[in-house]
A and B are shown apart, each in its own frame.
Chain A
Amino acid sequence: MKFFKTYLILFLISSAVFIGCKPKDSDLQAKVEKNLQGSPETSGVTVDVKDGVATLSGEVKVHNAVEKAAASAQDVNGIKSVVNNVTMQAPVVEAPPVEVNSDATMMQGVKDATKDFPTVTANVNDGVITLTGSVKRSNLQTLMMSLNTLKPKKIDNQLTIK
């Protein structure tokens, strides 16, 4: 009985406080959040409500989502004003990854490229061409030009240049 009474009193007090006050910021914030989450375009936006003022922040990907986020907050009853700090995300240009030839393809190519340079040894391992041996400086560029067309990951030039 004692517990029940305590709860009853607490309930009455909190009800009185709730009815007597303006909408609570935390409730408003929850409502705005629900609106923002409702659309994939604005789901990345976060909101903070203080004294009925909603401050929006975060990044969106599409152009009109900035205005849409503001509207999601404005639509909630009890929001007095909206500070919109939402920005457009800079477009990310996804360059396709560099294509690297398989070791088998490269080994054949390396054989062709070094055919005229018998003092050069070229090994291919995990996309990397490693050059050992020696070469005349006047032939180095020709050799490198050929090897660079083979789409290796890297060329490790350890040649002695004469």
Chain B
Amino acid sequence: MLLQDKYKQLIDAANAGGVSNLKVREQDNVLHVDGSAPDGATKDKLWSVYNQIDPDYRAGDLIMNVDVAASSGSKAKVTTESTNLNIRKGPGTDQPIVGKASHNEMVTLISKTNDQWWLIKTDKGEEGYAYAQYLSPQ
């Protein structure tokens, strides 16, 4: 369980930050950390601890799949770098674009398709699938 020692600070931060359903498992020499953070700040904190322990994520010995807990009907902020967020007909970048949400716009989360895609609705009434990485549940 050497990896658990290496990433102890990360696991401690996850516990301290109130990450729910926290699972820490080692498989094939990779530590898998799964869970649900109560807010975006906690998730960001975990990623900064990860980057401190393994600068630039080079070691290839950790998979951290910690999302931000969000329920259907709640709001999320569009956190693209600067551009608009595409809203698509289906969950996949090969799907046609049916709308756009602007940077920092607040949208409504309808349902989570998977860890990558949310079905969302804008205040203008546009509905479709958006990439979860660019949505920060509020």
Q: Interface of A with B (CB < 8 Å)?
A: 95, 97-98, 108-109, 111-113, 115, 137, 139-142, 144-146, 148-157, 161
Contact = CB atoms under 8 A, between A and B. Distances in A.
B27 interface: yes
Contact size class for B? 20 to 34
B93 A115 contact: yes
A109 B93 CA distance: 9
B60 A148 contact: no
Interface of B: 23, 25, 27-28, 30, 32, 47, 51, 56-58, 60-61, 63-65, 67, 81, 92-94, 115-116, 131-133
B59 to A, nearest CB: 9
B25, B57, B81, most chain A CB atoms within 10 A = B57
B25 A157 contact: no
A146 B79 CA distance: 13
Contacts of A137: 56
A153 B28 contact: yes
A98 B132 contact: no
A103 to B, nearest CB: 15
Contact of B57 (A98, A140, A152): A140
Nearest to A149: B115
B56 A155 contact: no
Contacts of B81: 139, 142
B116 A141 contact: no
A132 to B, nearest CB: 13
Given A153-B28, A156-B60, 15 more contacts: A95-B23, A108-B92, A112-B116, A144-B47, A144-B57, A146-B131, A149-B67, A149-B115, A150-B116, A153-B30, A154-B28, A155-B57, A155-B63, A157-B60, A161-B56
B65 A146 contact: no
B57 A157 contact: yes
Contacts of B64: 148
A149 B57 contact: no
Given A141-B51, A154-B60, A112 B65 contact: no
Contacts of B132: 149
Contacts of A112: 92-93, 116, 131
A111, A146, A154, most chain B CB atoms within 10 A = A154
Contacts of A141: 47, 51
Contacts of A151: 63, 65, 115
